[in-house]
Amino acid sequence: GAGVSQSPSNKVTEKGKDVELRCDPISGHTALYWYRQRLGQGLEFLIYFQGNSAPDKSGLPSDRFSAERTGESVSTLTIQRTQQEDSAVYLCASSLDRYYEQYFGPGTRLTVT
């Protein structure tokens, strides 16, 4: 079946602009995670959604970052007033629920100029 998909695959934006990144999880997966991978570093957790429960936003680095997910469908990660330090690959993962294996999407490479 279809895996996790993300769009766009690449995004170049000017400092100060807002960007929106999209994640389509595997159908039926109730858990969805966003991670950030800065150049040469491991992945950092950003936010977690589980069904209709309140999300775990503990990894969001600042109030410029926000994310939404309606039920068990698509999620969007929004970064307002982008800064150069936001440049990274943003990865989305989904799983049946939090106790199961996480499947990763191909990522969105964000470059802030």
Partner 1 sequence: GDSVTQMEGPVTLSEEAFLTINCTYTATGYPSLFWYVQYPGEGLQLLLKATKADDKGSNKGFEATYRKETTSFHLEKGSVQVSDSAVYFCALREIQGAQKLVFGQGTRLTINP
**Residue ranges that bind partner 1, judged by CB under 8 A:** 33, 35, 40-45, 48, 50, 56, 58-59, 91, 93, 98-99, 101-102, 104-107
CB of 14 to partner 1, least distance (A): 27
CB of 40 to partner 1, least distance (A): 7
The per-residue DSSP string of the chain comes to ----EEE-SEEEE-TT--EEEEEEPPTT--EEEEEEE-TTS-EEEEEEEETTSPPB-TT--STTEEEEE-TTS-EEEEE-S--GGG-EEEEEEEESSTTS--EE---EEEEE-
CB count, 10 Å around CB of 71? 9
How far apart are the C-alpha atoms of 90 and 34, rounded to whole Å? Answer: 7
CB of 19 to partner 1, least distance (A): 20
In this complex, which beta carbon is closest to partner 1, that of residue 14 or of residue 101? 101
In this complex, which beta carbon is closest to partner 1, that of residue 74 or of residue 104? 104
In this complex, which beta carbon is closest to partner 1, that of residue 47 or of residue 112? 47
In this complex, which beta carbon is closest to partner 1, that of residue 22 or of residue 59? 59
